[in-house]
Amino acid sequence: MASPFFIACQEGYGDVVDLLMDDVRVDPNVTDNNSVSPFFIACQNERISVVRHLILCERVDVNLVREDGCTPLFYATSHRKHDIMKFIFASGTRVDTQVTWGTANRVALDQAGVNNDSEAVSLITRYWEDPLQTSLSLRFELKATSILPSLSFGRGEFPF
């Protein structure tokens, strides 16, 4: 059975996620039976407000790998979820994590190429060349759009 925290992430209940994250008893990295983390399910379901909450928390591991070897970044790349990719990059994730997909070992850039997704290729190569600068510039870019408004969520102002 899924935890209340997992369900809140899955359904996009940002206020509930924020409240539960303040409770030290809540482990934000506990996975379900398929090794899916709350962060992964929020990315998968495009719950932007929840993804935003979770990348603020140092306790959240944005690089947790699903049982089949898939990372949140690889999933977002595979499904052309560019806004989610930007959040993942803004969090400072590792872009070079290899995923065993079928019989091949791939990184997100490989998958973007397979999908003929020029926007994803551009995002990934930009981040790969200079992770720190790209992370910072994406933080400002996201803040300047409606995707990432300046709001307070109990832990202070969103830092980017």
Question: pLDDT tens digit string along 73-107?
Answer: 989 999 999 999 988 888 777 776 666 666 667 78
**Residue 134 above 70 pLDDT?**
no
pLDDT at 53: 84
What's the confidence (pLDDT) of residue 153?
38
Q: How far apart are CA 56 and CA 70, in angstroms?
A: 22
Distance CA(47)–CA(10), nearest Å, equals 7
Domains of the chain, each with CATH number or no CATH: 1-61 (1.25.40.20), 63-149 (1.25.40)
In angstroms, the Cα distances linking 5 to 12, 50, 62, 75, 86 are 10, 11, 16, 21, 23
User: Tokens in use for 85?
Assistant: 């990719």
Q: Report whether pLDDT(145) > 90.
A: no
Contact 90, 142 (CB under 8 A): yes
